[in-house]
Structures are given as C-alpha cells and as structure tokens.
Chain A
Amino acid sequence: QLQLQESGPGLVKPSETLSLTCTVSGDSIRRDSYCWGWIRQPPGKGLEWIGSSYYSGSTYYNPSLKSRATISVDTSKNQFSLKLRSVTATDTALYYCARRTDYSSGWYVDNWGQGTLVTVSS
C-alpha cells in the first residue's frame, strides 16, 4: 500500500527558505502515469496547489507561487521535495505531499501524506 510521509522543519523564519521532503513507500516513484506534488492548507482555510513534478523532471507550478517554489524528485531515494523561498507569515500552513494521476487517468489526487504544519515566525 502506497504511503507518503512529509518531513522538515516546523518553524521557518520570515525571508528564509521552507524545505520539505516527502518519502514514498510501497511503490516506486518512477511511474510514468503519476505526478508527485505539494498542496497546502492555511489554518481554517481551503486547499491550494503549490505544484507537481513527474520523476522525469517535468514540473507544473501554481502561477502565484512559481517564482518562489521548486519541486524536485530524487529517484534514488524514492523521495521528492519542495523548496519555497522568501517565506512570509502568509505561507504558514499545513503542507501535504500527494500523488496525482496524469491527464489520461483522470487528473486527481489519489494519495495524500498526513500533512506537516509549517509556521513562519521569527
């Protein structure tokens, strides 16, 4: 059974870089029909796509975050990661890593991590 687990600091200072890693277990990250992504949810608010990446390196970002976000995949470790630069308090959120099916398979998130809370504060 596929499992996704986020890891990374729970507290980041303003203007610094938020870095999270998602470890995938139960399946290979080298699957052509799946894309690996990050979704966040500010406290008490709705979900927001940050972006996603195929293991081959093709990436897709939310235009509002594209200038600050980088998603990369490490096939040797079966992990993918998120870096979000120049964070502010508005980046405080529960961050989920997720697996999304591709366009031909319905384009939806079929697996989620449990989420990790990241607070931006000095």
Chain B
Amino acid sequence: QSALAQPASVSGSPGQSITISCSATSGDVGSFNLVSWYQQHPGKAPKVIIYEVSKRPSGVSNRFSGSKSGNTASLTISGLQAEDEADYHCCSYAGSSASGVFGGGTKLTVL
C-alpha cells in the first residue's frame, strides 16, 4: 500500500487560514470516505481532529474542517492561533485486508 503525500511544511500568520493536502496516487483516499486527521504537538501523542473526511470529534474547535475531492483530502485551519503550531498527519482506511496508511506529516508554523 502506498503512503499518502502531504507537504512537508506550511506556514501562516495568526488569524489567517491554511490548507494541508493529502493525496494518494491510487485507491486509498479516493476509494473511501474514511480519512482522518491528527494533530501532534512536540513530545506528545497524536490527537484526532477530523474523521470520516469532515467530522469533528466532540471538543475539537470548529476552526478545523476537512474535505475531499477525488484522491485528495484536505484539512483547513481557519483563524490560525499560536497553539495550532504542530505536526498534522492524515490517515486513510486502505481496504479490508490492510491496516491503514498515513501521510508523511506536515509541520505547521504559525509566524
């Protein structure tokens, strides 16, 4: 199973919006609506912020939103805050016989 492609880094200023893409060359993201996104602060375990492409778990800010078009899923963070500076990882279900696949992760810097 192939990894999902994410940009290595993105940056934005406080108050701005940024979007992180997650692309698959085949299957994976495009075939299923089971894409999740995780936020990981340094030295901490990841935390889910989006599941099933666009759903937010209870307690996650509505500044985080997800979408999907074809083989590319996207995470948008609006109204950037300093606390959003972290690594973001996408993950997709990869079929009933597989365990799932992650993207390479994107480091978000809040300028």
Contacts and interface: CB of A to CB of B under 8 A. Distances in A.
Interface residues of A, dominant DSSP: strand
Interface string B9-53: 000000000000000000000000010101000000111100110
Contacts of B3: 46
A63 B38 contact: no
A72 B105 CA distance: 28
A114 B45 contact: yes
Contacts of B57: 110
A89 interface: no
Contacts, number: 72
A53 to B, nearest CB: 10
Interface string B57-85: 10000000000000000000000000000
B111 interface: no
Interface of B: 1, 3, 34, 36, 38, 45-48, 51-52, 55, 57, 89, 91, 93, 96-105
Interface of A: 37, 39, 45-52, 60-63, 96, 100-101, 103, 106-110, 112-115
